[in-house]
Structure 1
């Protein structure tokens, strides 16, 4: 074949794969798209857009490392390719490399200083890094450049709730600023105009007040304001979803579980798998709606375990219609506040009865939620006043929690500088849970146990880890401990098996105060690890205490700061005490795993409510 013909054939094949791969991706056929796009890149390795397209497909699949490599190569081939820089920034953020992501976005803004989407991405990145003032400025700039950018207006308000505080007084300042901005938000969204209302509805859920709950205060008033605004915004745009559907009288009860966490995640472990395994399937049909594209072995379990399982549909209107068409009597949200699409769906009416569990343990403020499913052991007296929803205190922990075996994988703690004689205090909570006022608890334990080493898990931001290090140095100094940097170790994120090994090797689990461990505590007690906890304040500060009470292992349950320190110090010095706590913990596990009272009580609640509403014979 002549050389020209060969060139034309190669070009023709490339164009076929280039266009075909993009079409496959649009249709959601991600694996096929990757095969075709890889072939296109092999034919034209110097084609920047082909590299970008392959990166997008790999990103959709969740192969973030390969996606980043292709975006970087696309940028090298064509530095002006703005979509690659923004996509790379998003991937880097997901990998915990937000600092690198900021650098790429700033490079884009150097070329195009009026790029509204780049300013919004910069705001998102800076918000996650805890740089609230800079994040607000970036979101504000994005909104000024694009008046229809409702997402940036939401972002500018939510960025006032930082993920971390250097001083306790910063909390009051952040809360006051957020309160003022939230009150002004509806006016800035221009909800009184059709365009403004439409833009706000399309943007709602892009940024949520997730970090409000970490301030350790009752959020009812603020969440009620936010929830009423959300419901109003979506009702203006989508009046067809503003009222509950009328269903024919029929049975069994159809229960829709709506979540972005049909995957290996805390929400799956605590709530969804127990509902899937525990509901009486003669009386209840279980429908699952996965609001994210992430998929793993757990997703496969859900496909088989639910009577109907819907995934891959991430368009709000399409998914809302799909759920409504399936006519559920009840919608269960395991959480509201952690997943954007779930939050939008929770602000409309999908079923006659809609409930939220304590996956994000704060009131939603949404008038569309008819019950908050909590735990009798976790809720303090008078807790009803902290919720806009009617509070339902289910027995025990409020969840059906079967045993969750996780095979251990090797974890060499010596490689992280841990010595063989160190007493290991596991501090494994999300760093936002550690408020400045409680640093002295750790420092006092360090002063009393010279061989104590405190193991934290590095967040997806080294900046936040460094800020906690700086806070702990000050606290340790106040306690007369001069080697804070040696005594505090930050471990990387660990695989489930290596994390199980960490729980097995640790000596003591130090619970965070104000917002205690839930899933992390359950995984610790599964290994018999002694848990020191001080139940205080709202329900979210009482998870671990409830777990220990359910186990009948309450010797490490404190009622004051001094008692918390005393118990932790005794565990550090007294191996016999540690062993006795471990034995009591392990003895209680069968009763905890076998407690079906929460799911049976939930079944009766749903049946009574559906019958009361006249939807079931």
Structure 2
């Protein structure tokens, strides 16, 4: 009996348990330290390298995180999850071709890997490869027919950024309308559980590029808006009741709220919102802003 090896194994398991506790509680520097201790005792531990990479990424140490993921897949070439996570990290760094390669390796290992399909589809979209992006999401949808994020993405991705002609605008617009109506009809017949699941994904892909066509979008936006109201009101009935607005008192200002994730130097801010903020008559209107972006972005436009 090798007592030394048994002690070493027991010590590693104890360190792993502590490292994961620190990691899960948000004590990332402590978790990193424990992972590094483990790897000095057992350097061929791909799962620990992957955990170390995740902690390093969350601490903003992206290059070190990439190296840790790369070490994990060197030690375990069939480690699909590590390849997928590496792809996401490379995408965050703007290394899109390398991210595509990592996602494709993950899918070669694990052909039904839904998360890798979705991430790959997003990278293709970011690269402007709209057709490839839709094809990837269609593959994901074949594997998981109730994949709401794929349904939304395929619908919204009928709208490219740039069109070559007015005839193409009409074609893309008709394709979008058809997909949107099918999607709206599908959710009208969905049960409550399906609606709640769809509500969690609805913001992942939106008809942002519809406005680029320069046409009257009212009818299309009405279909889209009514679909969202249906999803959200059924999923969150406690927040979907009509709010009774009190009558304005004499000399009381009308209150207007702007809800956006773009209160900074961005086309959404520069084109419509900045004009509203700067030109609404403050003697008649009281203005409120509600920022919805998870990341706080500040520049000269955020101070008026």
TM-score (norm 1): 0.40
- Partners of 2:257 and 2:14 lie apart in 1 by 46
Q: Please point out which of 135, 139, 152 is paired with 2:137.
A: 139
Q: Aligned in 2, Cα 1:268/1:142: closer, same or farther, shift over 3 Å?
A: closer
User: Which position in structure 2 is the counterpart of 1:221?
Assistant: 219
Q: Aligned in 2, Cα 1:95/1:169: closer, same or farther, shift over 3 Å?
A: farther
User: Which position in structure 1 is the counterpart of 2:231?
Assistant: 233
1:39 paired with 2:33, answer yes
Query: Of Structure 1 and Structure 2, which has the larger fraction of its residues in helix?
Result: 2
1:243 paired with 2:237, answer no
User: Which position in structure 1 is the counterpart of 2:19?
Assistant: 18
Given that residues 262 and 291 in structure 2 are in contact (C-alpha distance below 8 angstroms), is that contact kept between their aligned partners in structure 1? no
Deviation for aligned residue 1:149: 1.4
User: Which position in structure 2 is the counterpart of 1:51?
Assistant: 49
Given that residues 19 and 32 in structure 2 are in contact (C-alpha distance below 8 angstroms), is that contact kept between their aligned partners in structure 1? no
SS of 2:204 mapped into structure 1? coil
Q: Aligned in 2, Cα 1:131/1:269: closer, same or farther, shift over 3 Å?
A: closer
- Partners of 1:268 and 1:173 lie apart in 2 by 26
User: Which position in structure 2 is the counterpart of 1:614?
Assistant: none
- Partners of 1:6 and 1:253 lie apart in 2 by 72
Q: Aligned in 2, Cα 1:74/1:181: closer, same or farther, shift over 3 Å?
A: same
SS of 1:130 mapped into structure 2? coil
Given that residues 58 and 66 in structure 1 are in contact (C-alpha distance below 8 angstroms), is that contact kept between their aligned partners in structure 2? yes
1:266 paired with 2:286, answer no
- Partners of 2:158 and 2:255 lie apart in 1 by 40
User: Which position in structure 2 is the counterpart of 1:200?
Assistant: 198
Q: Which runs of 5+ in 2 are unaligned?
A: none
User: Which position in structure 2 is the counterpart of 1:119?
Assistant: 117
Deviation digits for residues 468-526 of structure 1 (CA, Å, limit 9, x no counterpart):
xxxxxxxxxxxxxxxxxxxxxxxxxxxxxxxxxxxxxxxxxxxxxxxxxxxxxxxxxxx
Q: Aligned in 2, Cα 1:130/1:290: closer, same or farther, shift over 3 Å?
A: closer
User: Which position in structure 2 is the counterpart of 1:309?
Assistant: none
Q: Aligned in 2, Cα 1:54/1:284: closer, same or farther, shift over 3 Å?
A: farther
Deviation for aligned residue 1:208: 1.0
What is the RMSD computed on CA atoms of the aligned residues? 4.1
Query: Of Structure 1 and Structure 2, which has the larger fraction of its residues in strand?
Result: 1
User: Which position in structure 2 is the counterpart of 1:92?
Assistant: 90
- Partners of 1:185 and 1:141 lie apart in 2 by 18
- Partners of 2:48 and 2:240 lie apart in 1 by 43
- Partners of 1:144 and 1:62 lie apart in 2 by 36
The structure, 1 or 2, with the larger RCO (C-alpha pairs under 8 Å, 6+ apart) is 1
Matches within 5 A, 1:85-484: 85-165=83-163, 169-189=167-187, 191-245=189-243, 259-260=260-261, 266=266, 291-292=293-294, 294-295=295-296, 298=298, 402=304
Deviation for aligned residue 1:216: 3.1
Given that residues 37 and 50 in structure 1 are in contact (C-alpha distance below 8 angstroms), is that contact kept between their aligned partners in structure 2? no
**Paired residues, what number?**
288
TM-score (norm 2): 0.75
Deviation for aligned residue 1:153: 0.7
Q: Aligned in 2, Cα 1:256/1:171: closer, same or farther, shift over 3 Å?
A: closer
- Partners of 2:159 and 2:265 lie apart in 1 by 24
User: Which position in structure 2 is the counterpart of 1:585?
Assistant: none
Q: Aligned in 2, Cα 1:168/1:88: closer, same or farther, shift over 3 Å?
A: farther
Deviation for aligned residue 1:44: 2.7
- Partners of 1:70 and 1:186 lie apart in 2 by 44
Deviation digits for residues 252-296 of structure 1 (CA, Å, limit 9, x no counterpart):
99987755457x753898679x98xxxx9xx9897865541x357
SS of 2:200 mapped into structure 1? helix
Given that residues 153 and 189 in structure 1 are in contact (C-alpha distance below 8 angstroms), is that contact kept between their aligned partners in structure 2? no
- Partners of 2:148 and 2:5 lie apart in 1 by 52
Q: Which runs of 5+ in 1 are unaligned?
A: 26-31, 300-398, 403-617
Deviation digits for residues 420-475 of structure 1 (CA, Å, limit 9, x no counterpart):
xxxxxxxxxxxxxxxxxxxxxxxxxxxxxxxxxxxxxxxxxxxxxxxxxxxxxxxx
